[in-house]
Amino acid sequence: MDLAAAELVIADWIDAQGDERDQLLPLLHHLQREIGYIDDAAIPFIAAAFNLSRADVHGVLTFYHDFRRKPAGRHIVKLCRAESCQARGGAAIEAAASRRLGVAMGETRRDGQISLEPVYCLGLCAIGPNALVDGRPVARIDAAMLDTIAAEVAV
As annotated, the binding site includes 80, 85, 121, 125
From the list 20-28, 69-77, 107-115, 124-132, the region that binds ligand FES by CB under 6 A is: 124-132
Interaction of residue 130 with ligand FES, rule CB under 6 A: yes
Query: From its phi and psi, is residue 112 left (phi > 0), alpha (psi between -120 and 50) or beta?
Result: left
- In order of 74, 94, 114, the CA distances from 98 in angstroms are 16, 6, 11
| Least distance (Å) between residue 93 CB and ligand FES | 11
| 7 closest CA partner among 51, 36, 43 | 43
- Integer Cα distance of 63 and 3 in angstroms: 22
Distance of closest approach, residue 101 Cβ to ligand FES, in angstroms: 19
Which of 30, 67, 84, 118 touches ligand FES (CB under 6 A)?
84
Contact set with ligand FES (CB under 6 A): 80, 82-85, 121-122, 124-125, 128, 130
